[in-house]
Amino acid sequence: MAKAPAVEALIGRNDEGFYAAVPSIRSCLADGDTMAELMGNLHEVARGLLECDARYGRGGGLRFDEDYFREHGIVLVGRCMIDPR
């Protein structure tokens, strides 16, 4: 079985906590009070969305990106690569 490619995640923060989004996966946005919680939540959300896409076809959904972060007062603090599978 071929390994799924890693995807880029945007990491942000505001007064309420940490946020992460994967622009290449529609509707993929996660939050957490700590970085560890955030990364666990992000992997769970990304994996679930990819499973739904595989099972039911590509759906709609929002694309969360740097513009979304700016518009919602989330400061981009970094980027990382994740393997959502």
Nearest to 16 by CA among 64, 72, 81: 72
Number of domains in the chain: 1
Q: Give this prediction's pTM.
A: 0.84
pLDDT value for 4: 58
Separation of first and last alpha carbons in the chain = 12
Tell me if residue 16 falls in helix, strand or coil.
coil
Structure tokens at 75: 């400061």
Domain that holds residue 60: 7-82
Confirm whether 42 is domain-assigned.
yes
Confirm whether 1 is domain-assigned.
no
Please report, for the domain that includes residue 39, its CATH number. Answer: 3.30.160.250
pLDDT tens digits, residue range 1-20? 445 578 999 999 999 999 99
pLDDT value for 23: 92
pLDDT tens digits, residue range 30-84? 999 999 999 999 999 999 888 887 777 666 778 899 999 999 999 999 999 998 8
pLDDT value for 52: 80
Nearest to 62 by CA among 75, 49, 73, 44: 49
